[in-house]
Amino acid sequence: MTEGTGDVLDRLEDAIGRLADGSVPLYELVAAHERALKLLAEAEAELQALRDQADELGRTARPG
């Protein structure tokens, strides 16, 4: 996991925590939800990039 990935996951956890807090005003919940969606998209893109790297490494490591 890259340093950026850890940061995205930390921010996503924070946004999810705000969503779970029952005392947060509605406008903050909406903002936290929007942040969480963006962070989730970033995390998924990073995960796909890591999968692509692993696939490429697997192809170059095979003899032949």
3-state helix, strand, coil in the chain (%, to 5): 85, 0, 15
Q: What range defines the domain where residue 35 resides?
A: 3-61
* pLDDT at res. 1: 45
What's residue 12's pLDDT?
Answer: 79
**Tally of domains within the chain:** 1
| pLDDT digit string, tens, across residues 5-56 | 678 788 878 878 877 887 888 898 888 889 889 988 988 999 999 999 999 9
pLDDT of residue 63 exceeding 60: yes
The whole-number pLDDT of residue 4 equals 65
Three-state DSSP class for 21? coil
Q: pTM of the entire structure?
A: 0.63
Q: Which residues contact 36 (CB under 8 A, 6 or more apart)?
A: 12, 15, 16, 19
Contact present, 2 and 46 (Cβ < 8 Å): yes
* 35-59: b (≥16 Cβ within 10 Å) or e: bbeebeebbeebeeeeeeeeeeeee
